[in-house]
Amino acid sequence: MVKEHDNLDSHGEQTLSLRLRVWRQSRGTTGHFEDHALAAVPTSASFLEMMDMLNEQLIKEGKDTFAFDHDCREGICGMCSMTINGMPHGPLPGVTTCQLHMRNFRDGEMITVEPWRAKAFPVIKDLAVNRSAFDKVIQAGGFITVRTGSATEANNTLIPKPVADEAMDAAECIGCGACVASCKNGSAMLFVGAKINHLNILPQGQPERERRTLAMVKTMDDAGFGNCTNYGECQAHCPKSITLDVIAKLNRDYLRARVKEFFSSTGKPRKGGD
Amino acid sequence: MKLDSKIPAGPVADKWSNHKAKMRLVNPANRRKYHVIVVGSGLAGSAAAASFAEMGYEVSCFCYQDSPRRAHSIAAQGGINAAKNYQNDGDSVRRLFLDTIKGGDYRAREANVYRLAQVSTSIIDQCVAQGVPFAREYGGLLANRSFGGAQVSRTFYARGQTGQQLLLGAYSALSRQIGAGTVKMYTRHEMLDLVLVGGQAKGIVTRDLVTGEIKAWASDVVVLCTGGYGNVFYLSTNAQGCNVTATYRAHRRGAGFANPCYTQIHPTCIPVHGEDQSKLTLMSESLRNDGRVWVPKDKADCTKPASEIPEERRDYFLERKYPSYGNLAPRDIASRAAKEVCDEGRGVGQMVDGKRLGVYLDFSAAIKRLGEPAIRERYGNLFDMYENITGENAYRQPMRIFPAVHYTMGGLWVDYNLQSNIPGLFVGGEANFSDHGANRLGASALMQGLADGYFVLPYTVTDYLAGVGLTGRPSVDAPEFKAVVKEVQDRTQWFLNNKGNRSARSYHKALGKIVWEKCGMARDKAGLEGAIRDLQALRADFWKNILVVGSGDQLAPELERAGRVADFLDFGIMMCLDALHRDESCGGHFRTEYQDAGEAQRNDDKYAHVAVWAWQGDGQLPVRHTEPLVYEDVQFTTRSYK
């Protein structure tokens, strides 16, 4: 954090003048950077509020705004997705773009803003990308099959506190995709590992453990995500501080599922009705 | 407007089971022939869509976000209530029912609330089976905490992210059905109108936010789970995209809008820091357990750092006014008291719009008593969040807080079956009005969303479909659909063509300021009348000078915003009108004329009813109808906090 703000706004608050280099891309085009100057940005503003200011300035000039994804603006919905100065969600560890504030930038600084860059996340417009590949992975097996109304009494399932806590650590993933955007391979293994770890360690998740793991990994591969080669960038940029061990556990569960599949095979083609 | 609440006969405890036994069913082989549209993918929408699909219906689900997992239910922090009585502390279905009725200041519908309390226990079972990682005790059983002033510990929680975990549970159930092909999910689709054929809801019109395509969808029934209207205030704890358009468009097609003036304002949020702020962030109410709320006694001290104001020059106004409850006074009381001292000019923090809107929440006494590590253990994550947003260290200086809008109890009018007055239009979750009366208790919103989605709508919608039969679904080529599609296209094109000079956001800010000032924490006749005039002028200006940049065939955030703000403007007028015509104070609706030294003064003789507004035409004021609230089981009493 640098304290060299000389500008003050009408509330006596420090403000910044910024140079912004922002990605502009329409459907069917290759895209390019556009440079804009933005003055009087309060240091208390969030990064997205700074983007709102830029967009209001563009509207005054009669120009199209920059489209970007955002919703809750409190770090939980996982919708915001900007690569700021080359870092998904910007320079602060453990926060989303919406929770990044302008006091973390310097007056006169040039800030580069790009969308998530990954093969599996095509750009829709400007800074907004299509992350439906994540939904497809969950649809393949990121659930426990339980029909509404068929659940048993909740306290019939005893879950040791450490197990529940570990499941919760993994379940905190917000599905933003920063792990993919930060990975040189465009790998989604932190995201998939988090969901596998959440469900596969709980007693409720055991009946579908192998099937879930194989289906999610296959869908992940089919969607065009790369593989993990232990760069660790995903862990460094995850706004929820999900750690690499979920990938190790994913690999373990995948191996276990493949081995079980091999030995349970009868050699006959599988019949329907699973 | 015909308002038949369809409350089943019999004792309140038996109504739901008797009613379920009488409801009609649809043969499993016929269910796939019915098409159910669900709009919204929050707790109510995801739960309903997944449940309908499991039953065998053909389901289409729509949301404006890029994934159903983003819905704003995800941001709920505290927990979910259920009458499990795991703590053996005297809880029961009846007690949860009574607490909810009383918390709603006797303005909720008794039979609906009883059913909510009844199904609350099944919700926990369902969520645990889905793998929701609720907090546990060392023995492996579920943990509970007390919340929202209840005398029992009935709140289930998953750290400070209960809403997230419950939504991800419902999202996983929905995802399973999408994967199985039984739910067609349409993300980045916004519902822009409802289509009626022969007086029944038979479909919707949406805009694909990515391609701009405006399209009609026909169905046998439409279920709206599109959330609340808190963003009419511009600044709220709601997500940026939360809007009233789906429910307001349904209102324009004839659906009654109930109690729009019932809004809940949460006392502990981070104050507004500047003109460019877009969002207010909630800090858990639990902070008031150890923090003391104060402002300087003297206006002159308001600009000084807190550390330079000696003890005797501080006004601990909650402790002074409500000695028995102190800093733990209920939400509405604490919020109003903070507003009062700031209106007197004794607020602290940054000057915004000529006022300092903030009060101190001071932990220094607790830190002295318990030590900093103990406070860090209890509230560390909240102190970190506060520092991240404000850049201030709350261990060294007091936090600054101010109330903010975060929930709306009003919504589309529904009967006991959650069906609006338009046949075939069902409404669930925050979008309906039914269960919270004039004030919602903490940890009850998640309970209601999931109750509606998992355990009420699947029964009542089935009953409706069985009655309609299989001949009901029209084609999207029917003239009714074509007419609505044309209207939506024309409106969209009008926005793009009207080269005005003012952005939708600036209108939204102006709207928010008016309703926050005049229809926020405290309201009065003159203020509301003035607000309605100001809003009408703002509305007229909007339809002249709105400027929408972008094109209609791509992602166009300004176009989306303009449509939502247009509906918020009309809605804001209705909200003020509702507040003006409710000549009493109850729950979140506080009319300064009706108080007993700061306490809300209800008027049960005249206002023990639901106010339901009927649309009269563009630019016309809506007309008020009423549904009397008949209490067969509980007695009216006065809430007191002294």
Q: Does B403 touch chain A (CB under 8 A)?
A: no
Give Cα separations from A36 to A32, A225, B504, B555 (angstroms). Answer: 13, 33, 22, 21
Higher-scoring residue by pLDDT: A147, B376: A147
Low-confidence ranges of chain B (pLDDT < 50): none
Q: Is B122 on the interface with A (CB under 8 A)?
A: yes
Class of domain B266-404: alpha beta
A192–chain B Cβ distance below 8 A for any pair: no
* Residue from B175, B351, B406 whose CB has the most chain A CBs within 10 Å, to mutate: B175
pLDDT reported for residue A264: 83
- pLDDT band at residue A2 under the 50/70/90 scheme: very low
Which pair of structure tokens corresponds to residue A186? 């465009």
Distance from CA of A213 to the nearest CA of B (A): 15
> Cβ of B503 under 8 Å from any chain A Cβ?
yes
Minimal C-alpha gap between B51 and chain A (Å): 6
d(C-alpha B328, C-alpha B334), whole Å: 8
Question: How close A163 comes to chain B (CA, Å)?
Answer: 9
The reply to whether residue A59 touches residue B503, judged by beta carbons under 8 angstroms, is yes
Q: Does B243 touch chain A (CB under 8 A)?
A: no
Is the Cβ pair A143, B550 closer than 8 Å?
Answer: no
The distance of Cα A106 from the centroid of its chain, to the nearest Å, equals 26
- Which residue in the list B69, B154, B292, B331 is annotated as catalytic? B331
Q: What would the two tokens of residue B636 be? A: 């009216």
- Cα(A257)–Cα(A215) distance, integer angstroms: 10
From chain B, the residues in CB contact with A60 under 8 A are 503
Cα–Cα distance, B603 to B612 (Å, whole number): 18
Whether A92 and A100 have beta carbons less than 8 Å apart is answered as yes
Contact A135 B69 (CB under 8 A): yes
CB of A160 less than 8 A from some CB of B: yes
On whether any CB of chain A is under 8 Å from the CB of B300, the answer is: no
Residue range B484-503, pLDDT digits in tens = 999 999 999 999 999 999 99
Q: Residue A1: which pLDDT band, with cuts at 50, 70 and 90?
A: very low
Is B331 a catalytic site residue? yes
Question: 3-state DSSP call for residue B368?
Answer: helix
Residue A237's pLDDT band, with cuts at 50, 70 and 90, is very high
DSSP code of B474? P
Chain A interface includes B606 (CB < 8 A): no
Q: Residues A70-89: pLDDT tens digits?
A: 999 999 999 999 999 999 99
- Contact between chains at B128 and A154 (C-beta distance less than 8 A): yes
As a whole number, mean pLDDT of residues A202-231 equals: 97
**Neighboring chain B residues of A167 at a CB cutoff of 8 Å:** 131, 133
A237 touches chain B (CB under 8 A): no
Q: Which of A59, A99, A204 sits opposite B129 (nearest CB)?
A: A204
Phi first, then psi, for residue A22 (nearest 5°) are -120, 140
Q: What is the mean pLDDT of chain A?
A: 93
Which chain B residues are Cβ-neighbours of A147 within 8 angstroms? 54
For residue B347, the chain A residues in CB contact (below 8 A) are: none
pLDDT (0 to 100) of residue A190 = 98
- Please indicate if any CB of chain B lies within 8 Å of the CB of A199: yes
Q: What is the CATH number of domain A7-124?
A: 3.10.20.30
Same fold, A7-124 and A131-264: no
Cα A164 from Cα A168, distance rounded (Å): 6
Q: What is the C-alpha separation between B215 and A130, in angstroms, rounded?
A: 21
pLDDT at A28: 86
Are B284 and B160 within 8 A, CB to CB?
Answer: yes
What fold, for B479-615?
Methane Monooxygenase Hydroxylase; Chain G, domain 1 (1.20.58)
Residues 94-123 of A with CB under 8 A from B: 95, 99, 101, 103
Q: What is the ipTM of this complex?
A: 0.95
CB–CB contact A135 B178 (8 Å): yes
Q: Does A131 touch chain B (CB under 8 A)?
A: yes
Instruction: Map out the domains of chain B as residue ranges.
Output: 266-404, 479-615
Question: Are both B266-404 and B479-615 of the same fold?
Answer: no
Strands (E), B198-317: 200-208, 214-218, 221-224, 257-258, 263-269, 292-296, 314-315
Distance CA B148, CA A209 (A): 38
Question: CA nearest B210 in A: which residue?
Answer: A124
- What pLDDT is stored for residue A3 in this prediction? 43
- Per domain, the residue ranges of chain A are 7-124, 131-264
State the count of interchain CB pairs (< 8 A) between A and B.
234
Question: Quick check: B447 and B157 in contact, CB under 8 A?
Answer: no
For residue B141, what pLDDT is reported?
98
Q: Which CATH architecture has domain A131-264?
A: Orthogonal Bundle (1.10)
Contact A101 B277 (CB under 8 A): no
CA distance, residue A79 to nearest chain B CA (Å): 7
| Nearest chain A alpha carbon to B161 | A172
pLDDT value of residue B287: 85
pLDDT at B351: 85
